[in-house]
Amino acid sequence: MDGLKKRLNGSLQFRLSFTLSIVIAVIALITGVFSFSSTLEETNELQDEALYQIAELMDQQHLILAPDSPSTRLSDDDDDSHIIIQRLAPSGSTNALAQDQHALSLPPDLNEGLHTLVSHDDTYRVLVKTYPTGERIAIAQDTDFRNKIARESALRTLMPFLILMPILLLIVTYLVRTTFTPIAGLSSEIDHRSFEDLRPVPDHSLPTEIRSFTIAINRLLGRLARSREAQRRFVADAAHELRSPMTALSLQAERLNESTLPPDARARLAVLRQGIERGRKLLDQLLSLAKAQSAAEPAPAPVAIATLYRHVLEDLIPQAQAKQVDLGVTHIPDVRIQASALDLGTLIRNLVDNAIRYTPAGGRIDLSARITGDIIELCVADTGPGIPIEERNRVFDPFYRILGTEQLGSGLGLAIVKTIATRLGADIVLDFSDAAARTGLTVTIRLQQKTPV
């Protein structure tokens, strides 16, 4: 009962189907009972009319019972359907009826008309008729047979209800489900969208009653898109504005470094230069994040994985060599990916940059790719400390950094990777490079294969 109440309160489709089914069942029940009782009554009236017609036929045809046969039976193939025609003795007299074992024991003073009487433990419907000759005739029929005919006739009227009601319930359920299909499609379409997809919901195929709801959703999506665009533009503008003073500070620090300074001042200058460099890196990543979150999506084009990796290595090998990290490629299939080269390059570059930062000197970073079915997997594996399993759900949040790491960073690298992967429709899988030692990090980008070479 609680489950039914919960479904009635929680599902408009179930509530409508349930209510219509109950209404149809109640109407069918009331109509069936009325039809059954009406047919039962009409059938009994028709059988009474048949008794009157037999009596009228006997009068018109001047049919009389033989003097030595006070009663007779009219029967067909069914012995239970016979009609008994019997002469009634005058009041206070006796005749051969007493010796006739088939005759009914009827009172001689019965009034003319229809009666329901019991004779020999059986119930009969009896019509008493007085003819012009003064003879009184009783025409009787067994009520069991009459009731059987009436019930069968009444039940036959119920058969259409019994057959059509389940069919009607199925049709109602189907129609309700079909009516709500656009709502289910709308819900599924919105549910499968990424958080960055703020396009208006198409409403041309939706019913009028739902269209106003989708219009309100589209207005909300429009406001969110404008708010998001304003936020992105603010971040990009702020980063652009800050780049000039940061560049000036960097140049001043370089010039100051060339001057003669006492050891303690030079140590403080090193910290200052490190902070300035970190600020410049943060501004670059803020610009990258704003660009990745931009609503304008670059046109996809076939991108060779080998070319993609070569450009990333050309940009980051000097940084890896400066930290004494072995950066290279292990395996690349000859395949192209139908996607934006700029997006893929930014994604892989951020993964490799992040790996260089957290891989200790003497470590190793391997770039590889493989094809699994219709999925292309791009992998970046390092021998750094890795990411604990409990932290993996949060490392993609902007500005989030794992506690205990001594590396300088802004916490935006993996946020940029996540944003681009979502736009490309790719999945990101994090795992340990060394599962036994639970160290190292392998980041796998799973993309749908588009155009093989």
Residue 98 has pLDDT above 60, yes or no: no
Residue 365 has what pLDDT? Answer: 92
Long-range contacts of 167-173 (CB under 8 A, 24+ apart): 168/24, 169/21, 169/24, 169/25, 172/17, 172/20, 172/21, 172/24, 173/17, 173/21
pTM score, whole prediction: 0.48
Cβ atoms 359, 384 nearer than 8 A: yes
Average pLDDT over residues 253-268: 79
Distance CA 36, CA 191 (A): 52
Q: Which residue has the tokens 């059509």?
A: 164
For 59, the token pair is: 């009068």
Residue 435 has what pLDDT? Answer: 83
> pLDDT tens for residues 415-451?
888 888 887 888 889 999 888 888 899 999 998 875 4
Task: Write the DSSP assignment of 375-437 as a string of letters.
Answer: EEEEEEEE-S----GGGTTTTTSTT---TT------S-HHHHHHHHHHHHT-EEEEE-SBTTT
Angle of helix 413-424 relative to helix 263-292, nearest 10 degrees, comes to: 10
> pLDDT tens for residues 297-354?
555 678 888 888 998 888 889 888 988 999 988 888 888 888 878 888 888 988 998 8
Residue 367 has what pLDDT? Answer: 93
Q: How far is CA 228 from CA 197, 235, 290, in A?
A: 11, 11, 10
Residue 66 has what pLDDT? Answer: 56
Number of other CB atoms surrounding residue 214 within 10 Å: 19
Evaluated on CA atoms 220, 224, 225, 226, the torsion sign reads positive
Residue 451 has what pLDDT? Answer: 46
Residue 166 has pLDDT above 80, yes or no: yes
> pLDDT tens for residues 221-234?
888 888 877 777 77
Residue 379 has what pLDDT? Answer: 92
Residue 453 has what pLDDT? Answer: 41
Average pLDDT over residues 79-106: 61
Average pLDDT, the chain: 77
Residue 152 has what pLDDT? Answer: 83
Cβ atoms 376, 335 nearer than 8 A: yes
Distance CA 160, CA 149 (A): 19
Distance CA 250, CA 256 (A): 10
More confident site: 10 or 164: 164
Distance CA 109, CA 183 (A): 78
Residue 241 has pLDDT above 90, yes or no: no
Number of other CB atoms surrounding residue 419 within 10 Å: 26
Residue 210 has pLDDT above 50, yes or no: yes
> pLDDT tens for residues 349-381?
889 988 898 888 889 999 999 888 888 999 999
> pLDDT tens for residues 107-135?
777 888 888 888 777 888 888 888 777 77
Count, in order, helices (H) and strands (E) of the chain. 9, 13
Residue 239 has what pLDDT? Answer: 65
> pLDDT tens for residues 23-64?
888 888 888 888 888 888 888 888 888 888 888 887 776 666
Residue 53 has what pLDDT? Answer: 85
For 264, the token pair is: 């303690």
